Structure 1
Amino acid sequence: MFTACSHTASPLRLGGKWTPKIIRCLEGGPRRFSELEVPLRGITPKVLTETLRSMERDALITRTVHVGAPAPVTYALTALGRTLLVPMAACCAWAAEHLPTLLDARDAHEGPAAAPR
């Protein structure tokens, strides 16, 4: 069973499975690609790259290349990306209140043959 709105599970999707999870990971400040892979267990490097590019295209994040060899790259939420934190928090509050009911409804729908959690 998952907890309501951890960075690993969300009952609602925003622009794909990984976008809200990445937003949550960047909420505390910029992170490097490798720093995003750790909390986003299960995401492949290809999917993470594609999702970050999509989020950059949509102006939700910025990609900054720093001086160095190799050049470190960080990703950060933009002002537009930060505007999603409030509605995401509302979704998390809803999930915290209603997740048990939602899970019970799913179990009831799947019937008695469904595998236990």
Structure 2
Amino acid sequence: MVLQIKRIYDSFQESDGTRLLVDRLWPRGISKGNAHLDGWVKELAPSHQLRRWFGHKAENFEKFAMLYRAELDTAAEAQAAARQVILQSKENMVTLLYGAKNPQVNHAIILKEYLESKVLSV
């Protein structure tokens, strides 16, 4: 499995492979052409309620991670999207793109770990 995360504001690289936006909202200041996206997987983003509660605050990150994993486990759409991403990542590099400012406190970190933990069940 070849999976990485990257801010959508970082420059496009050929080595990114398949580029998937995993935010529910379109990132500010990025045109669709400059995003170089292969897909937008909103189903893997946290719910609006959870995202608002989290607020990208480091002190909320641990509880957010637990609640976000629970959302991923219980949403049928998220499970189907996760299976597709895992299958893609078995064939080539998949880059999960996010818009959050903090590279250490964002949902893409949790999503990558989640997908890596599910790879054996697909």
Which structure has the larger Rg over C-alpha atoms?
1
Point out the structure with the larger helix share.
Answer: 2
TM-score of the superposed pair, with normalisation by structure 2: 0.27
